[in-house]
Amino acid sequence: MKMVPEKIQISLMKEIETLLNEGQDVNAQDQYGRTLLDRAVWRSSEPAVDLLLERGADVNIRNNRRRSPLHLAVYRKSETIFGKLFEKGGNINLKNDKGKSPLDLIIARRSLNIIETLIDKGFDLENDEVYGFPLLHNFVDRHFVLGVDLLSRKGADLNYKDIQGRSPLHIAIRRRYIDIIHMLLNKGAMVDIKNADDETPLHSAIRMKFKTGVELLLRQGANVKLESKETTPLHWAARCKDDGIFDALLNHGANIHERNGRGDTVLLTAVEEDFFYGVKTSLTREAKVNERNGDGETPLHCACSKEVCEILLDSGALLEVRDFSGNTPFLTAVRYDRATVNCLLDRGAEVNVRNYEGNTAIYLVRNNLVTVKTILDHGGKVNIKDYIGNTPLHSFISSGYDSECIELLLERQAGVNIKNNAGDTPLHVAVLNNRTYVIELLLDNGADVFLKNKESKSPLHLALYSCVEEFGSEISVMLDKGTKLNSKDWDTNSLLHFAVLNGDYDLVKELIDNGACVNSKNSKCQGPLHIAVSRSFQPLVQLLLEKEARVNDRDSENRTPLHLAVLANNKTLVKTLIDKGADINNKDNRGRAPLHYAISSKNLEVTEILLLHRSDVNLRDKCYRTPLHLAILYEFNAGVDPLLTCGAKVNVRDKKRNTPLHYAAQSGSESLLRKLLKRGALVDIQDSKGRTPLHVVIKYILEMWTGDDCVRVLLDYGAAMDVKDYRGKTPLDYGEGYSSLQNMFSELIIKTECANLELYLNNEVVSNLLKSYRELVPFQTTCLTELKHMKTKKIGSNNLYDVFSQYRDPKFSMKKSMEEAVYSPTLDLDFPVYAPLLRVTFEKAKARHKLLDFAAENLSAKIYITLPNEVKRHIMSYLSDRELKSLLNK
């Protein structure tokens, strides 16, 4: 302990007493963060420290440099004061500004007195908070011999393991501290204790090649048979290739015949590690030279050097013994590219022996030209096949071996046209593996480019199918090798099909110029033009057409190239094919023409091109659907107008007797319904189940809870509410219980009756509907008010109401001024109730005039009465629209 003059201590004592008597806080800190206790400890004044501790001084307050009173006691080497502070709860693990705790400082300064004091005051010797391991382990690691001695005398557990599972003896061995090793062993440390890695100190010493430590442990009785990770000390010594340790273990009773967890003998391990001294010593001690391990290998299988190989053979090692995979030592040496290959062959190893997978040595070579040459020079068969029929040439090419190895095989007459079990020749394999230089080698050595494998593909087919850029020159060479340009694979694809499939313009041109058939077909009846079109290869399409490819050839689905061009949404190809004479109305197996495809694809541009070239707009597919059916079915609204403009029939039925109007009703589209009805769609036409469009719309409403406007459109156009479907139900029946539908039906009845228009319902139905309509009187009043106002709207000699009152009159004039008024935007504002019905009635009036003309003409053909046309029309005017249509249909 550093001594402080007594005079200074007395002065400090008086100063502290005065301050405390004046009421100063015992734990008050000055500008440097120091307390009175810090000053007392620094001055090594035990009386002052005692006084302050009695007054309740905090022993763990740290100053501005993060130092506690314990830190200061260590700096001053004051073990007595340190002991007092520790007893009062001083924390020996508090860190200062340099990250050091009082305990760190004690160990670093090797303060034995403080350590002893600490232990005497009850410090736990197995405390792991110092650098992650206990004090004794620290002292061993730091080679603090006196500290180790002190702790051992104070009762430290010499076999206690730190958090890494190490005992002090393990650490001493790792640090090679002979003196501490002696001390620990003499004081009772366990010599065979294991760490977390399953190692005893002996294993650790062997692994570190610490011969002195090994000998010391052996003299202290270390167990030479105790395994670590299923490996004995003697196996470890063989792996570490240390002569002295190997001998020391044998001299202390290690068994030369023992095995490790893999079943390796000591001799095999020594051979495997190329530990010549260990091999020689083992053999001298009568180790069995042909003993197998768990994989069936003998030491000769594992020999890596010529010297070890020779000593084993000289000691009786068998050349043709097999491991559990059927490999002889020679096959294993070749497989792992060992230096023993020549030695084994010179001693008589069989060069063409096979393992259990059917492989000979030449298949096991690791891309080593020298080894390949050695095998062939010793009689290795160059065309011997493996269990899947590959020759060495197949194998070398597929494994990516250097071209020198392949050239050597070719020099030794390797067969370039031998097929394996899949029918592939080496040239097939070279193409499949993109070995361009090897392809050239094989071609130069007579490889047949047209030999087919079991999939009927030749190397040329595969090259064209792969379409690798680097194959350009090789493909040209292959083409020069023969004339079988129209040969086909198993799928009957010709070479030209493959070239087109890959979009190679130059190659396609070269094939055609060399005589390839431009119209050959594969198993799907597709010609090259079909493939080029489906892939939108425009330059190729142009080339094939120039070379007289048939533009209307059909594939197995009866599709022409034009079908595929439409399917590809390629308007340029569509125009090109049409210009070259493609039949625009050809049908496929489903009865669909290109226009059907365009509609299904929702491609407006292609649709317009086809219509421009007069595609039949009313062609039916096998379901009897026209393009108009499909446009509405697939909700391609943009395609509906062009079809109608080009004459699409609106009342054509499909196989289920659905018209386009049924599909429009099914989609809940008000705009489509109006378009079709304006074009003359029959509002009450029935499908195969007797359903009218009104039935369909009501079903849509009940499922989707929307579509009221569609019902109003159909009702305004005169849809009958009493037509029965296959269940015997009318739209009124389906609408029963749904107030919105009931109200719409009631409002139509009121509007129709107020305007004196035709209503095809019996009185009982009308009465029942109106009874349930709560707004009957107000709505009736509104209707009459609008009709009164309508009569005041003069258009020339007529008024707007005349559309209702005179539309059946054959003399009613359809003036342009009347049409403008009916379709005026202000009509909906002036007549919100009647505007839609007024427009529909006007349309019906125009249609009625046409019906009258047609009926008068039809009547003249059937009844031979000469009457003026006006008289005929007048007679017919007494018939309703329904009666006129019925008459015409007879």
Instruction: Provide the 3-class DSSP secondary structure of residue 558.
Output: coil
Angle at 371 between CA 365 and CA 377, to 5 degrees: 120
Last residue of a domain, one of 123, 139, 155: 123
H helices within 547-659, ranges in order? 561-567, 571-579, 594-600, 604-612, 627-633, 640-645
Residues 606, 612: Cα–Cα separation, whole Å: 10
Quote the tokens at residue 409.
């095989």
The tokens 């391991």 sit on which residue?
Answer: 133
Residue 461 placed within a domain? no
User: C-alpha distances in angstroms, 41 versus 51, 73, 421, 661?
Assistant: 12, 6, 93, 106
What local confidence, expressed as pLDDT, does residue 206 receive?
96
3-state secondary structure 54-112: HCCCCCCCCCCCCCCHHHHHHHCCCHHHHHHHHHCCCCCCCCCCCCCCHHHHHHHHCCH
Greater model confidence, 299 or 92: 299
H helices within 679-797, ranges in order? 693-704, 708-716, 731-735, 739-754, 763-771, 776-791
What local confidence, expressed as pLDDT, does residue 490 receive?
47
What local confidence, expressed as pLDDT, does residue 813 receive?
65
Q: What is the DSSP letter of 470?
A: G
Last residue of a domain, one of 123, 158, 176: 123
Residue 111 placed within a domain? yes
Query: What is the rounded end-to-end Cα distance, in angstroms, of the chain?
Result: 135
3-state secondary structure 228-296: ECCECHHHHHHHHCCHHHHHHHHHCCCCCCCECCCCCEHHHHHHHCCCHHHHHHHHHCCCCCCCCCCCC
The tokens 């290739």 sit on which residue?
Answer: 241
| CA-wise closest residue to 544 among 509, 498, 510 | 509
pLDDT higher than threshold 60 for residue 492: no
Helix axes 708-716, 670-678, angle to 10 degrees: 10
Q: What is the DSSP letter of 494?
A: B
Percent of the chain at pLDDT exceeding 90: 49
Q: Exposed, middle or buried: residue 378 (CB in 10 Å: 0-12, 13-18, 19+)?
A: middle
Last residue of a domain, one of 93, 123, 153: 123
Q: Which of 66-70, 385-389, 637-641, 742-746 has the lowest mean pLDDT?
A: 742-746
Greater model confidence, 117 or 849: 117
How many C-beta neighbours within 10 Å does residue 345 have?
A: 22
- The CATH number linked to 19 is 1.25.40.20
Q: Which of 499-508, 656-665, 781-790 has the lowest mean pLDDT?
A: 499-508
Domain that holds residue 882: 792-890
What local confidence, expressed as pLDDT, does residue 482 receive?
46
pLDDT higher than threshold 80 for residue 632: yes
Q: How many domains does the chain have?
A: 2
How many C-beta neighbours within 10 Å does residue 440 have?
A: 16
Percent of the chain at pLDDT exceeding 70: 91
H helices within 467-558, ranges in order? 472-480, 495-501, 505-513, 528-534, 538-546
Q: Which of 102-111, 165-174, 212-221 has the lowest mean pLDDT?
A: 102-111
**What's the whole-number mean pLDDT along residues 250-269?**
94
What local confidence, expressed as pLDDT, does residue 4 receive?
53
**What's the whole-number mean pLDDT along residues 308-316?**
96
Angle at 76 between CA 71 and CA 82, to 5 degrees: 60
Rounded to the nearest 5°, which phi and psi values hold at 86? -65, -40
pLDDT per position as a tens digit, 569-587: 999 999 999 999 999 999 9
Banded model confidence at residue 471, pLDDT cuts 50, 70, 90: very low
| Torsion 178-184-187-192 (CA) sign | negative
H helices within 339-494, ranges in order? 341-346, 361-364, 369-377, 392-398, 403-411, 426-432, 436-444, 459-466, 472-480
pLDDT per position as a tens digit, 324-350: 999 999 999 999 999 999 999 999 999
Residue 351 placed within a domain? no
**What's the whole-number mean pLDDT along residues 692-704?**
87
- Asked if residues 56 and 26 have their Cβ atoms less than 8 Å apart, the reply is yes
What are 488's strand-pairing partners? Answer: 494
3-state secondary structure 296-330: CCCHHHHCCCHHHHHHHHHCCCCCCCCCCCCCCHH
What local confidence, expressed as pLDDT, does residue 615 receive?
94
Residues 559, 71: Cα–Cα separation, whole Å: 95
Residues 629, 659: Cα–Cα separation, whole Å: 7
What local confidence, expressed as pLDDT, does residue 489 receive?
45
What local confidence, expressed as pLDDT, does residue 242 receive?
94
Banded model confidence at residue 779, pLDDT cuts 50, 70, 90: confident
Residue 863 placed within a domain? yes
Greater model confidence, 385 or 840: 385
| CA-wise closest residue to 751 among 724, 712, 722, 725 | 712
What local confidence, expressed as pLDDT, does residue 469 receive?
45
pLDDT higher than threshold 50 for residue 170: yes
Banded model confidence at residue 222, pLDDT cuts 50, 70, 90: very high
Predicted structure pTM score: 0.55
Q: What is the CA radius of gyration of the chain?
A: 53
pLDDT higher than threshold 90 for residue 870: no
**What's the whole-number mean pLDDT along residues 666-685?**
90
Banded model confidence at residue 3, pLDDT cuts 50, 70, 90: low
Residues 316, 36: Cα–Cα separation, whole Å: 88
What local confidence, expressed as pLDDT, does residue 480 receive?
52
Average pLDDT for the chain: 87
Q: Which of 112-116, 549-553, 606-610, 875-879 has the lowest mean pLDDT?
A: 875-879
pLDDT higher than threshold 60 for residue 476: no
Banded model confidence at residue 483, pLDDT cuts 50, 70, 90: very low
Helix axes 472-480, 436-444, angle to 10 degrees: 20
Residue 417 placed within a domain? no
pLDDT higher than threshold 80 for residue 278: yes
Q: Which of 422-431, 501-510, 528-537 has the lowest mean pLDDT?
A: 501-510
pLDDT higher than threshold 90 for residue 748: no
Amino acid residing at 13: M
What local confidence, expressed as pLDDT, does residue 882 receive?
67
pLDDT higher than threshold 50 for residue 468: no
pLDDT per position as a tens digit, 9-66: 677 888 888 888 888 898 999 899 999 998 988 988 889 888 889 989 999 999 999 9
Residue 25 placed within a domain? yes
Residue 836 placed within a domain? yes
**What's the whole-number mean pLDDT along residues 478-500?**
58
Per-position DSSP letters for 776-804, written without gaps between them: HHHHHHHHHHHHHHHHT-EETTEETTHHH
H helices within 823-868, ranges in order? 827-830, 835-862
What local confidence, expressed as pLDDT, does residue 864 receive?
56
**What's the whole-number mean pLDDT along residues 82-105?**
88
| Element (DSSP H or E) covering residue 817 | helix 816-822
The tokens 């393992």 sit on which residue?
Answer: 355
| Element (DSSP H or E) covering residue 140 | helix 135-141
Per-position DSSP letters for 799-815, written without gaps between them: ETTHHHHSTT-TT----
Residue 786 placed within a domain? no
- Asked if residues 662 and 654 have their Cβ atoms less than 8 Å apart, the reply is no
Quote the tokens at residue 682.
């029959």
The C-alpha torsion from 232 through 237 and 240 to 244, rounded to 10°, is 170
Instruction: Provide the 3-class DSSP secondary structure of residue 488.
Output: strand
| Element (DSSP H or E) covering residue 137 | helix 135-141
What local confidence, expressed as pLDDT, does residue 219 receive?
94
Residues 748, 711: Cα–Cα separation, whole Å: 11
pLDDT higher than threshold 70 for residue 702: yes
pLDDT higher than threshold 90 for residue 621: yes
